[in-house]
Amino acid sequence: MLSTFASVKQYLKFDLSRVIIDNIVFKLHYRWTFVLLLVATLLITSRQYIGEHIQCISDNVVAPVINTFCFFTPTFTVVRHVNNTALESGSIFQPGIGPYNRNEDKIKRHAYYQWVPFVLFAQALCFYMPHMLWKKWEGGRIKALVYGLRMVGLTKYLKHDSMRIGKLNIPSMAEAEERVINIRRTMIDRMRLNQSWGAHLVFAELLNLFNLLLQIYWTHRFLGREFLTLGIKVLRERWVDKMDALDVVFPKVTKCTFYKYGASGSLQEHDTLCVMALNIMNEKIYTILWFWYAFLLTVTVLGLLWRLFTVFFYKNVTFSKWSLYWAKPGKIDESDLKSVIQKCNFSNWMFLFFLRTNLSEFLFQKVIYHLASEFPNDPIHDNDINDYKAREREAAGSSGSTAKYPLLESLDTVDAPLLHHRGGASVAPKSPTDGATLPA
């Protein structure tokens, strides 16, 4: 059985060192729901757990022929026999099964079971798409900075000498100061160049909600408009009435009409019963999906309410302090934090939030300290992140050269100190603004 689900094992790995670029609500969509739908698809397509999907009474017809015919041709139940009273009295032995008059009786056709695996797999892909879009929009920016900062974080165990372990170079404290300054420059440049970063995140989260509502509606139409109240009916009827909503939506026995020509050339009609073994699995899958979708919808709406709070209150120091503590517990200097968030827009604030999620208290304090040193309390400027770049341009213009100012270089050059550091020396030279030192 475990070998059947080996293909989804890769999506269940928990890597504590993985860089986090989203929240738990996002993960419930692209990881847990995606995996749940893939497992359901594998269960439906695997015959070792339920045997043949359909078995019909053959009479004088070859069994494989009528089984295949009734599987590809919609089977049906008689509406007037979907009656709990008749079932309890013994007038019928299965819901929807009984005498049938073609001209008078209304029937309900069942064709969805042919499409269940395809629909489940398509829905799994739909739940993964917002994550793919967000990864493309995010562009690996957080990962690049976090990897560079984590390397610096190892220096708290060293004093004056650097250490090399295989291909890994751990800088000394002095070298770490140089690298943190370079990373600080990179962060400021990233924060300025990606003003729409936060808007893309909000859009991806809204896309999760839209996709969830779309999949609920799609499933409701797919199951003959019986899905929206399925879970409520199951809870109310399952252990009370002999016939419940699952017996109506997923009948275990259906009728099928097969035609063939007899020996004399006349058309013969065969009214047969079919045992729908596949519906034993379908009813459980869609019952679980109903409760999962209800839970996911609740959590998604709460997640969007949280995002609404962050949009309106991110400049509040107390709110930011508790939000960053919630992202990862640890102390933060409130005065430095205030200096930073007052100069941030929402995209900048979200960038810091995810950095806090991925960094230790030791590293994040350094980040906030150095960012605060670049953002003086100057009421003339509304956004010192943008002003920082302007000051470098002015300084570069007065000196006639831009080589000393790494923020004026290409984005790839700015990233160099983060992931490619050789010989323990800083790649990018210091600018005149780098007089700040690390806190003791």
Read out DSSP for 97-132?
-S---TTT--EEEE-GGGTHHHHHHHHHHHHHHHHH
Contact criterion met (CB below 8 Å) for 333 and 320: no
Closest CA relative to residue 250, chosen from 262, 261, 238, 240: 238
Task: Answer for the pair 340, 321: CB distance below 8 angstroms, yes or no.
Answer: no
Tokens 């509502």 -> residue: 213
At 287, list the tokens. Answer: 């019952």
pLDDT of residue 428: 39
Helix (H) or strand (E) holding 288: helix 278-313
Question: Which alpha helices (H) appear in 154-229, and where do they start and end?
Answer: 173-193, 197-222
Count CA within 13 A, CB hemisphere, residue 114: 11
Spans in the chain with pLDDT lower than 50: 1, 378-386, 388-389, 399-440
**At residue 41, what is the residue type?**
T
pLDDT of residue 142: 83
Question: Which pLDDT belongs to residue 277?
Answer: 86
Do residues 66 and 58 touch, judged by C-beta distance below 8 A?
Answer: yes
Contact assessment for residue 351 and residue 194, using Cβ atoms and an 8 Å cutoff: yes
pTM across the whole model = 0.76
Q: What are phi and psi of 256, to 5 degrees?
A: -145, 135
Mapped onto helix, strand or coil, the DSSP state of residue 242 is coil
Indicate the domain borders of the chain: 2-131+208-302, 137-200+314-419
pLDDT for residue 192: 61
The C-alpha atoms of residue 272 and residue 76 are separated, in whole angstroms, by 11
